[in-house]
Amino acid sequence: MKNNYALIMAGGIGSRFWPISRTAHPKQFIDILGTGKTLIQQTYDRFLKILPAENIFILTNEIYCDLVLQQIPSMDKSRILCEPVMRNTAPCIAYGCHKIEKLNPEAAIVVAPSDHLILDTEEFVKSIRKSLETASENDCLITLGIKPSRPDTGYGYIQYNTKKIDEDFFKVKTFTEKPNVDLARTFIQSGDFLWNAGIFVWSVKNILNSFKKYLPEINDIFNEGAQLYNTDKETEFIQAAFTQCTNISIDYGILEKADNVYVLPSEFGWSDLGTWASVYELSDKDYVGNAVIPSERVIMYDSSNCMVNVPEGKLVVLQGLHDFIVVEDNNTLLICPRDQEQAVKQIVTDIKQRFGADFI
């Protein structure tokens, strides 16, 4: 257990959950399902069941460092790894893995998003423990795949073949990012595709070898700080290092190219909570399909299948509204048909151009 570590990624801005998710306070720091805990708090608590607290690190943008400390007061500041600029997932993972390698060259690391929902914690813990063990003993990079329940076009898909290690881990054949609905249906029917959960497990030795092979420029940048990690000079070095990095994801930069990627088919009630539709699917609903968070002062007349999220104490009356998203926060009200919620990202871009960053 002492060789096992976690890197929790918490740097995204969650623009699809605008107006509740803002650049200054994105979705990982919000209790989006009304459970009493924010998504990052839930993620951190899950990893405490697997690892000692001192082996859990959080990767985030430097503007969110104080938010992390507010929401996880027990977190030591030295374990919050701050990116000075956003450069996608490969550079921040390279940073985290180089830092951990200096602490423990025998480390096995799980990398996971901070803003996903996992309903079956027990099954999740089993999958992660099993993956850490396999990653420690084999030359492999592991990704967790979720058995798909529908032809969802919002997820990436992983195709695997029959070659296995440790009985449960299958060799990955292809990655496909967000297919159209016809292709997604074909994937489901073929039976050898899984949703990509964006959760990765590897030994620090294997992932750094992969960085050397597939992203040597990024690896060299972070390798230069080898003597500075875990010292008071680390922050200054990282400030300069990130500005030199290209913007590239770990999926595109390494996983789609490497020949030692394996997937563990998993079922632990996973959702990436990527859109208001996914929150609607997971929320408690009344007898006509309305999901209302919080519900004390929302009155619905002849309204059905709506997703409503408004400030506590606000009186809201909806008459004759069907299949809509109604969200209010931060002096902003969004009313949008549920089947057009993909437009939210474009709306955010338009508002930024018209009114500046104040509303974003």
> What domains sit in the chain, N to C, each tagged with a CATH number?
4-271 (3.90.550.10), 276-359 (no CATH)
**In Å, what is the CA distance from 226 to each residue of 60, 79, 198, 219?**
21, 17, 27, 11
Does the pLDDT at position 108 exceed 80? yes
Given this model, what pLDDT does residue 337 score? Answer: 94
Given this model, what pLDDT does residue 165 score? Answer: 95
For residues 23-35, give the mean pLDDT: 90
Span 114-140, pLDDT tens digits: 999 999 999 999 999 999 999 999 999
Q: Which residue, 167, 170, 149, 168, is CA-closest to 158?
A: 170
Span 85-100, pLDDT tens digits: 999 999 999 999 999 9
Does the pLDDT at position 294 exceed 80? no
Distance CA 92, CA 94 (A): 5
pTM of the predicted structure, to 2 decimals: 0.94
Q: Which residue, 114, 139, 15, 11, is CA-closest to 56?
A: 114
**Burial class of 302 by CB neighbour count within 10 A (0 to 12, 13 to 18, 19+):** exposed
Distance CA 247, CA 242 (A): 10
Given this model, what pLDDT does residue 298 score? Answer: 94
CA 197-201-204 angle, 5° bins = 145
